[in-house]
Chains A and B, each alone.
Chain A
Amino acid sequence: MARTDFGPPDYRQMIPPVIARNYGKWKYHTIPQPGVLKHVSESGEVLYSVRIASARLVSTDFIQEICDIADKYCDGYLRFTTRHNVEFLVSDETKLQPLLDELKSRNFLVGGTGNAISNVVHTQGWVHCHTPATDASGIVKSMMDELHGYFTTMKLPARLRLAVACCVNMCGACHCSDIAIVGIHRAVPRINHEGVAKACEIPSVIAACPTGAIRPNPKLKSVEVIKEKCMYCGNCYTMCPSMEIQDAENDGISIWVGGKVSNARTAPKFSRLAIPYLPNNPPRWPEVTDAVKHLVEVWAAHAKPGERMGEWIDRIGWERFFKLTGLPFTDKHIDDFNFAPTTFRSTTQFRF
């Protein structure tokens, strides 16, 4: 039997010597050019990190390729970032430019540092998830084909974090991203009564519903859904595959803005609804990519230096956000779920 319960590999065996020597002793860093970080240690030693975009869904060929590069320029060390970028760790400054040249010749995109759009945190979508309302990789690819100029430069007012989730489970911090793209269902689950009776634990299905929209149907040994109470979260479907929630006609995309996780300047914030619904239009999702590009451009044009999307909106107010972006404000933007009153305005301070 295989060895078990030994945990992850020890990071001490995976870090380059320059990091081992200067662990906990870094003094400051600069960004000499987009995608290149220069860390300087108290000892005077210097480490360059060169960041490239990755598709996140990658083949072993890709891993071998970046390993070849790391062997050539980085003594066999590399890392990934929390946002799926790859970082080449260069301790020999003379290898920096040759590495950048080689990355360019291989068409890798170097960037994602400072006031830029970094790589997109996203979910599996149609590639490998069982509850998706859309694909994730395809939206990311389509969107970043449009926006990669903001990855390879640092010309935005502040950093901008994008996330894509293929359903409202929002695996991946969508609820705290500057712009989040979230797949949504819009119709009540379709019940296969025979399937529910045969394969589902009915009390768990009922308990799974956050709005109490599911009640028993003893006659059919199944359940029924009170349409008015259902907000299509799909939690029942996760419990019971006979509550089919995927719907090619009705599923689509919603867009959320202004979230962040950093405590810098302002507290972490939730992303808020900007666009309740856009059609699911593979393979290129033009409505979604246009909307995201538009949001980025309006923010970039109006935000002050250092102001993230949510901080910009805090300053100008939501009323001006909708005006400047030209997005319609609808009944969908007014919360009617838990904690809704915390979002209602209780002051006469607002703008016309």
Chain B
Amino acid sequence: MAESKTPLLDELEKGAWPSFVTEMKKAAAKKENAKDLMQQLEKSYKDKIGYWKHGGIVGVKGYGGGVIGRYSARPDEFPNVAEFHTLRVNQVPGFFYTTKALRDLCETWDKYGSGLTNFHGSTGDIILLGTNTQNLQPCFDELSEKGWDLGGSGGGLRTPSGCVGMARCEFACIDSMDFVLEVTRHFQDALHRPAWPYKFKIKCSACPNDCAAATARSDLAIIGTWRDTLKIDQEAVREYVNNGFNIYGLVIGKCPTKALDWDAEKKELKFCAEDCVRCMNCINMMPKAISIGSERGATVLIGGKAPVVKSAFIGWVIVPFIKCEAPYTELFDLITKITEYFDEHAKPRERIGELIYRVGMGNFLRAIGLPPVPQMVSAPRANPYIFWQDEEVVNRG
């Protein structure tokens, strides 16, 4: 049996910020596997190296994903974490919960797992951290009974997630929570039975502030926007200014296209609608006075991802404006076309951003039938190496 003291981890119980070590200790007081997890982590802190082996294939009946196999590299020393798998549980869109739902979940996890969780994982799932192979099925059965489904893992659709949207934000141009719910429901098969070359993430933010970090963290980002003009309540603007608000420093000077100016005589905010690129800054700074436009929809960006392997990408605009309202037919058709193309053309472990970089954006757009528009580029190409299509040139044999 391993020595039960954790002097290095104990250091991380000091200080004001909430301590994950304290949380682990609470679980360790009840669970042998949580106790061994702490011991193994202490060893990592001592040796400066991780002690988890590669995942193995584990799962629950009917599903190809949602469970991450994890095995200790030192099962002799830490037998209770010899198997210590993760269940990814599909979070509620917008991360809203009733206490009853959360207590239900805790009860099941206390019964079958380590009692440790992540609220939430980076993709958005509720992470139930650590149980053995034998407990996976009964744990899932009980979760399913209570209305909790699994999230995604492996080469397939990952659990969609999004921002709080219309539930509590005046900037929401689209109903991000509803979109996340419906897109998850619609693509259940791709989520639960991963059959694509690699992961594919969908995230939705209801405005260009992108609180869900969709453009950076998802292969397909749905970002709420508007097509007409923002609205200004001049009376409310004057109130800000009269209260000493620095309208030059925080709003006019920060406008990326110089679309705003202050008419000192009329005490009015002048606005050039054609120049506005809907960056959100003036709205963020003066939410009582400036608000989003009326003709609302979404911009679709593709290819966002972290560095491994070719490069990190921030999503690229492929559709400047699309309606994003239930039943989302047009958007779901587009997603189906994109993911079918991805499924057919990507190499193993190639994200769609890397695939597009390899085959060329032009080929990708032609394949899914999206017309080229200037909103897609920051500038047109600066080289003459244009690929002409067969029908565009005379066939000379």
Q: Could you list which residues of chain A lie within 8 angstroms of chain B, going by C-beta atoms?
A: 1-11, 13-15, 19, 23-24, 26-30, 39, 47, 49, 53-64, 67-68, 70-71, 76-82, 84, 86, 107-109, 121, 123, 125-132, 135, 137-138, 140-142, 144-145, 148, 165, 168-176, 204, 207-210, 233-235, 238-239, 241, 246-248, 251, 259, 261-266, 268-270, 280, 282-284, 304-306, 337-339
Q: Contacts A130-B54, A233-B309; is A55 near B19 (CB within 8 Å)?
A: yes
Q: Which residue from B94, B124, B208 sits with its C-beta under 8 Å from A79?
A: B94
Please give me the residue from chain A that is nearest to B162 by CB atom. Answer: A82
Question: 10 closest A-B pairs (Cβ-Cβ)?
Answer: A145-B15, A126-B44, A210-B309, A67-B99, A144-B17, A263-B208, A24-B166, A170-B306, A176-B216, A2-B144
Q: Quote the shortest CB–CB distance from A334 to chain B (angstroms).
A: 16
| Complexed CA–CA distance, A174 and B119 (Å) | 19
Q: Does A251 contact B97, Cβ atoms closer than 8 Å?
A: no
In the complex, A333 Cα to B95 Cα: how many Å? 39
User: Scoring B residues 140 to 171 as 1 if CB is less than 8 Å from chain A, else 0, what string do you get?
Assistant: 11001101110000000000010110111110
A209 cross-chain contacts in B, Cβ below 8 A: 309
Within 8 Å CB of B15, what residues of A?
141-142, 145, 148
Which residues does chain A contribute within 8 Å of B55, judged by CB atoms?
130
List CB contacts (< 8 Å) of B299-333 with chain A: 306-312, 314
B164 and A79 within 8 A (CB): yes
Given A145-B14, A148-B16, A261-B215, also A77-B93 (CB < 8 A): no
15 pairs from A and B in contact (CB 8 Å cutoff)? A4-B149, A24-B166, A28-B287, A55-B23, A62-B26, A77-B97, A107-B16, A126-B51, A130-B52, A141-B20, A207-B347, A238-B54, A264-B208, A280-B48, A338-B311
Q: Tell me, rounded to whole Å, the shortest Cβ–Cβ distance linking B247 to chain A.
A: 12
- B residues in contact with A78, CB < 8 Å: 96-97, 99, 102
Check B74 for interface membership: any CB of A closer than 8 A: no
**Complex contact A261–B90 (CB within 8 A):** no
Q: Are A63 and B106 in contact (CB under 8 A)?
A: yes
Collect the chain A residues with CB atoms within 8 Å of residue B349's CB: 207-208, 235, 239
Contacts of A263 in B (CB 8 A): 208-210, 278-280
Task: Give me 12 other A-B pairs in contact (C-beta within 8 A), A11-B92, A63-B105, A261-B314 excluded.
Answer: A2-B141, A57-B117, A60-B116, A64-B103, A108-B18, A170-B308, A207-B347, A247-B49, A261-B210, A268-B215, A282-B48, A283-B12
Chain A's closest residue to B284 (CB) is A264
| Closest residue of A by beta carbon distance from B62 | A4
Pick from B16, B84, B212: contact of A82, CB below 8 A.
B212
- A58's partner among B17, B23, B140 (CB-CB below 8 A) is B23
Q: Are A208 and B18 in contact (CB under 8 A)?
A: no
- Is B217 on the interface with A (CB-CB < 8 A)? yes
Residues of B within 8 A of A49 (CB): 168
The complex places the Cα of A6 from the Cα of B57 at a distance, in Å, of 23
Measured between alpha carbons, how far is A11 from B92 in the docked complex, in Å?
Answer: 6
Interface string of B166-202 (1 = CB under 8 A from A): 1111101001011011001100110010000000000
A121 touches B122 (CB 8 A): yes
Judge whether B145 and A2 touch: CB under 8 Å. yes
Contact check, B215 vs A59: say whether CB atoms are below 8 A apart.
no
Which of chain B's residues have a CB closer than 8 A to the CB of A62?
Answer: 23, 26
Contacts of B19 in A (CB 8 A): 55, 141
- Name the CB-closest residue of B to A122: B122
- Give the shortest distance, in Å, between B5 (CB) and chain A (any CB): 14
Judging by beta carbons under 8 Å apart, are A26 and B17 in contact?
A: no
Contact A126 B101 (CB under 8 A): no
Contact of A265 among B52, B210, B256 (CB under 8 A): B256
B118 within 8 A of A: yes
B9 within 8 Å of A (CB atoms) = yes
CB < 8 Å neighbour of A23 from B8, B106, B167: B167
Do B213 and A173 have beta carbons less than 8 Å apart?
yes
Category for how many chain B residues contact A:
35 or more
State whether the Cβ of B274 lies closer than 8 Å to any Cβ in chain A: no
B340 within 8 A of A: no
* Chain A min CB distance to B128 (Å): 10
In the bound complex, residues from chain B placing their C-beta under 8 Å from that of A125 are 50
Question: Contact between B99 and A26 (Cβ–Cβ < 8 Å)?
Answer: no
**Cβ of A6 to closest chain B Cβ, rounded Å:** 5
**Chain A nearest CB, measured from B331 CB (Å):** 17
Instruction: Give the CA-CA distance A334 to B12 in the complex, in Å.
Output: 36
A9 contacts B45, C-beta separation under 8 Å: no
A141 touches B310 (CB 8 A): no
* A57-B116, A77-B99 known; A338 vs B310 contact (CB < 8 Å): yes
Q: Which of B85-114 contact A (CB under 8 A)?
A: 86, 90-103, 105-106, 109-110
Q: A141-B20, A171-B122, A263-B280 are in contact. Are A67 and B181 (CB under 8 A)?
A: no
The distance in angstroms between the C-alpha atoms of A337 and B86, with both chains bound, is 34
B167 cross-chain contacts in A, Cβ below 8 A = 11, 15, 19, 23
B23 touches A59 (CB 8 A): yes
Chain A residues with Cβ under 8 A from B21's Cβ? 141
Residues of A within 8 A of B185 (CB): 7
0/1 string, B31-49, CB within 8 A of A gives 1: 0000001000100110111
113-141 of chain B: CB within 8 A of chain A:
115-120, 122, 124, 129-130, 140-141
A338 to B184 Cα, complex, angstroms: 34
B96 touches A266 (CB 8 A): no
Interface contact B70-A128, CB-CB below 8 Å: yes
Q: Is B211 an interface residue (CB 8 A)?
A: yes
> Which of A9, A11, A29, A262 is in CB contact (< 8 Å) with B280?
A262
- A305-B63 contact, Cβ under 8 Å, with A57-B24, A128-B86: no
B54 touches A241 (CB 8 A): yes
* Minimum Cβ distance to chain A for residue B281 (Å): 5
CA distance A140 to B339 in the complex (A): 36
Does B61 sit at the interface, judged by CB under 8 A?
A: yes
- Cα distance, A126 to B101, chains bound together (Å): 30
Tell me which of B284, B311, B348 contacts A339 (CB under 8 A). B311
Instruction: Check A71–B49 contact: CB distance below 8 A.
Output: no
Q: A59-B116, A79-B96 are in contact. Are A169 and B17 (CB under 8 A)?
A: no
Contact status of A264 and B280, CB under 8 A, knowing A2-B61, A29-B287: yes
Find out whether the CB atom of B306 lies under 8 angstroms from the CB atom of A251: no
